[in-house]
Structure 1
Amino acid sequence: MYAQMLCGLIMRNEVLRVGAVFASGLLRAIHFLQNNWKQLAHDIATGTLNPKITDAPVRECMRKILKPNPELAQFVTMECYEENWECIIKRIWPRTKYLDVIVTGAMAQYIPTLEYYSGGLPMACTMYASSECYFGLNLSPMCKPSEVTYTIMPNMAYFEFLPHGSSTSCLVDLADVEVGKEYELILTTYAGLCRYRIGDILRVTGFHNAAPQFRFIRRKNVLLSIESDKTDEAELQNAIENASLLLKEFNTSVVEYTSYADTKQIPGHYVIYWELLVKDSANAPTDDVLNRCCLQMEESLNSVYRQSRVADNSIGPLEIRVVENGTFEELMDYTISRGASINQYKVPRCVSFTPIMELLNSRVVSKHFSPDLPHWTPERRR
């Protein structure tokens, strides 16, 4: 990443797009620039490569590219020295036309942060894929992220679909899906996976010629559960977005989050870890505002959760733990050190692994709890 960032700075006027597979990966690159711009500027000024880069082929390639350029080094220093990183992508790479990055599903939460760093550049979600297989293409890549649909490519694998929310377990062929219905994706690949459940829930939005088009809805798995409640990824994401609206007047956004169902206490409760981007430290959100964010999240959760909070008293007040900036980068580094692929890495939306919990809890700077009960009324029976 260091060598790639260095090349990007040296050839800044030739860069036409900036991207990564997932939005989280692009933000990691921006944070990398924030943390290493001084060393990068030094290398550009002197025409030498940081000795920490020890890979011989990389050093040989960079030797051919690096030439002393004090003027460029001064430019990088001037742009990165200030705390204000708004529009930094367009400032560093002025010819950038768009961001090539996936911002659908759980990645949608990164859109405000990417807009801040890019100055509102379009975000192109070009493909739908996983480590197992390529699935589909976005035939309108410059559409709004909320309107992205993917056209399945039937030559990539054999695709089948399990109706979601239905009692039937009969699989539906690609040609037989119905517009408006949701399905769980099942695939059989050339590499040997047979009827493999990806875990993605898709909604059919239409057809391109005879090929169905799908919108990614959410991952299937339930993230949080204390008792009879079940909160999935889409619902948690929606609750985060609603709570984040309270931070707008403070020019603050949620950069990253994960969750944990704390059942060690009675009653158990949801714990949400937030990493915040505070753009004006003099106008940071107060404790009262963050407490209200907890309540807003609870108001956004399903009726079973709210009944458990209000009527059954089986779930305690939701808690938000604000962590230090850079915490989720450390989490990514830890996961990659255990063998995860950097290109496939996604922040886990629910955690329980002890070392990860210890890392997150060691970075907590403040804790906040819902100050009141969410609204809930029992359904009247006829």
Structure 2
Amino acid sequence: MLLLMLLLLVLLLLLSTCALLGQQISLEARPPWLASLQHQVAWRVLSWAAAWQQRRLEQSTLRVDERQQQALTWCLQTAREPRCSKGSAATDMNTFQNQLPLTNPSQAPEEENEAHLPRPTSNQYSGEASLQATLLGLVALNKAYPEVLAPGGTICVTPTSPWPSPLPWPGHVLDWARPPGAKDPEALLLVALRSPGLRALQAGTAVELLDVFSGLEVKGEELTEAIAAGNPGAPLPRRATELREALKQGSRGLALRLWPKLQVVVTLDAGGQAEAVAALRALWCQGLAFFSPAYSASGGVVGLNLWPEQPQGLYLLPPGAPFIELLPIEEGTQEKAAPTFLLAEAQRGKEYELVLTDHISLTRCRLGDVVQVVGAYNKCPVVRFMYRLDQTLSVRGEITGEKMFSEALAQAVAQWPGAKLLDHGCVESSILDSSEGSAPHYEVFVELRGLRNLSEGNRDKLDHCLQEASPYYKSLRFRGSVGPARVHLVGSGAFQALRAALASCPSSPFPPSMPRVLRHRHLAQLLQRRVVS
């Protein structure tokens, strides 16, 4: 123990020395020896901290029941609005579940949610889970791709960082983290474009990275001229020529043409991001691996990713705060008061909805995020996130969920020659008052690449795919109780404007959970105004 304390003091001394030197010399102006020293010290400190967090994770996942009990006790002790008695009985799991019924704000009108049943927000769960996700994620990424975290090997191209917990000093030295609002997105992209040797590209979320690449194609010549002229930094005419040639060849595989050594894309996973990841994989980031260090729900880390080599994200549900319960997904029982399970009780192959306890108002909140248990890490479940229950369309009592609709839309787009789906949003016709005396129906807004107009035949294919996916929807269509789904093509930047409108809400967490079903009329009208076909 004494030796460990001495080593820690030495590392802290080196840390302080390098930090002082770094304040006097800008990152770009550092001599090579100083940059190398700072990088080595920062990585040693980070690796030591990660090893410590790994030991804590091993202990907590082996003693999962005890750790969840501690998380529950913490929630009860820190609650601002206690709703159950404090004492020995208060921390009993059965008593806690009986006294606090499940709430489901996601199925209530959105205006009521904001006023009465607030979801957990990001600042509530910025503790150990976020730190573990960052430290263990960095170490796992370095193990899977040994060269990407070398000096100058990674750049974040968005003001937000994919790493849930900020690491001010190591992040500053290693250029791994960028606090919100640190720089203009265009300036960040210019820095990245000046660096042909990048091995990892970071962005806050996949939808933000999608916006970056879409903007790059629009402003590519302007950015190239800025690099040639030396804005910022020294003029790089040769690099500008390389960029022009890369941009001329189109969007497919653009990232690897811009940065030939690129290996992996790092973004933070959350609800509604899968479509953006699919679009990036198919177009700009073709041939690259994707890695998310964590899964975020309602702005808080609920899953840790320790396996960067997995093509589809697998996440460990840790037993600490926030306190997590699992509600079984069984057909026909979602509106009933089904009992919840703790983490150690999860069964492989089963699907569950996540339930989080908000320690501010002390509510057990159904998040709507559905996970499938695919394995175990010690005694904790390893899951894959599947879909969200709250993203459901219903105009005549039918239930068209996010998973069913996304699969039907993907099948329809596959039949549209040359089309690649970038984003989509759905609205029930009553929101826009668009029935006009006809049967209620779905209004669908899509942003595509490779197709500028939609024929009536192409539009009809979505409704056909929906009928094939849902016999009940098909019967409603046959009886005329539900009208055909109406598909609208929106212009480039429409969903970027939608995301900006969502982010402007003061209570919006990061990363925002991208809605696929819009409940607010002003948001639906925002897309409606940008229809081009």
Deviations 1:4-50 (A, max 9, x none): 1111112231x21123243211111111222222332233222235x
How has the CA–CA distance of structure 1 residues 244 and 216 changed in structure 2, closer, same or farther, with 3 Å as cutoff?
A: same
How has the CA–CA distance of structure 1 residues 132 and 341 changed in structure 2, closer, same or farther, with 3 Å as cutoff?
A: closer
Structure 2 alignment gaps of length 5 or more:
1-184
Instruction: Work out which of the residue numbers 292, 314, 319 in structure 2 matches 1:125.
Output: 292
Deviations 1:347-381 (A, max 9, x none): 42112433323322222222xxxxxxxxxxxxxxx
What is the TM-score normalised by the length of structure 1? 0.80
Give how far 1:223 is off.
2.4
Please give the alpha-carbon distance, in whole angstroms, between the structure 2 residues aligned to 1:26 and 1:193. 35
Of all paired residues, the percent bearing the same amino acid is 25
> 1:37-116 residue pairs with structure 2 within 5 A?
37-49=220-232, 66-80=233-247, 82=248, 84-101=250-267, 106-115=272-281, 116=283
Residue 308 of structure 2 corresponds to 141
Instruction: Work out which of the residue numbers 463, 485, 502 in structure 2 matches 1:318.
Output: 485
How has the CA–CA distance of structure 1 residues 84 and 291 changed in structure 2, closer, same or farther, with 3 Å as cutoff?
A: same
Q: Is the 8 A contact 1:259 1:271 kept in 2?
A: yes
Residue 201 of structure 1 corresponds to 370
Q: Please tell me the residue identity of whatever aligns with 2:497.
A: E
How has the CA–CA distance of structure 1 residues 322 and 173 changed in structure 2, closer, same or farther, with 3 Å as cutoff?
A: same
How has the CA–CA distance of structure 1 residues 223 and 143 changed in structure 2, closer, same or farther, with 3 Å as cutoff?
A: same
> 1:176-215 residue pairs with structure 2 within 5 A?
176-188=345-357, 194-215=363-384
Instruction: Work out which of the residue numbers 315, 319, 329 in structure 2 matches 1:150.
Output: 315
Give how far 1:288 is off.
4.9
Please give the alpha-carbon distance, in whole angstroms, between the structure 1 residues aligned to 2:425 and 2:254. 27
Instruction: Work out which of the residue numbers 186, 195, 212 in structure 2 matches 1:2.
Output: 186
How has the CA–CA distance of structure 1 residues 169 and 342 changed in structure 2, closer, same or farther, with 3 Å as cutoff?
A: closer
Instruction: Work out which of the residue numbers 419, 442, 453 in structure 2 matches 1:270.
Output: 442
Residue 18 of structure 1 corresponds to 201
Give how far 1:176 is off.
1.2
The number of residue pairs the alignment matches comes to 339
Structure 1 alignment gaps of length 5 or more:
50-65, 367-382
Residue 34 of structure 1 corresponds to 217
Deviations 1:222-243 (A, max 9, x none): 5211111121211111111121
How has the CA–CA distance of structure 1 residues 336 and 139 changed in structure 2, closer, same or farther, with 3 Å as cutoff?
A: closer
Residue 61 of structure 1 corresponds to none
User: Aligned with 1:31: secondary structure?
Assistant: helix
User: Aligned with 1:365: secondary structure?
Assistant: coil
Deviations 1:51-75 (A, max 9, x none): xxxxxxxxxxxxxxx1122222232
Deviations 1:301-345 (A, max 9, x none): 4222111111x3210111111112222122223333444769523
Q: Is the 8 A contact 1:103 1:111 kept in 2?
A: no
Q: Please tell me the residue identity of whatever aligns with 1:183.
A: Y
Deviations 1:58-97 (A, max 9, x none): xxxxxxxx112222223223322x2612111001111111
Please give the alpha-carbon distance, in whole angstroms, between the structure 2 residues aligned to 1:10 and 1:195. 48
User: Aligned with 2:238: secondary structure?
Assistant: helix
User: Aligned with 1:364: secondary structure?
Assistant: coil
Pick which of 165-174 and 231-240 moved more: 165-174
Instruction: Work out which of the residue numbers 386, 401, 414 in structure 2 matches 1:245.
Output: 414
Q: Please tell me the residue identity of whatever aligns with 1:76.
A: L
> 1:294-333 residue pairs with structure 2 within 5 A?
294-310=462-478, 312-333=479-500
Residue 370 of structure 1 corresponds to none
Give how far 1:214 is off.
1.5
Task: Answer 1 or 2: higher relative contact order, Cα 8 Å, separation at least 6.
Answer: 2
Structure with greater strand percent: 1
Q: Is the 8 A contact 1:267 1:316 kept in 2?
A: yes
Please give the alpha-carbon distance, in whole angstroms, between the structure 1 residues aligned to 2:242 and 2:352. 51
Q: Is the 8 A contact 2:391 2:402 kept in 1?
A: yes
How has the CA–CA distance of structure 1 residues 150 and 342 changed in structure 2, closer, same or farther, with 3 Å as cutoff?
A: closer
Please give the alpha-carbon distance, in whole angstroms, between the structure 1 residues aligned to 2:323 and 2:222. 49
How has the CA–CA distance of structure 1 residues 236 and 326 changed in structure 2, closer, same or farther, with 3 Å as cutoff?
A: same
Please give the alpha-carbon distance, in whole angstroms, between the structure 2 residues aligned to 1:338 and 1:210. 39
Please give the alpha-carbon distance, in whole angstroms, between the structure 1 residues aligned to 2:308 and 2:279. 20
Residue 57 of structure 1 corresponds to none
User: Computing the radius of gyration over CA atoms, which structure comes out larger, 1 or 2?
Assistant: 2
User: Aligned with 2:256: secondary structure?
Assistant: helix
How has the CA–CA distance of structure 1 residues 110 and 336 changed in structure 2, closer, same or farther, with 3 Å as cutoff?
A: closer
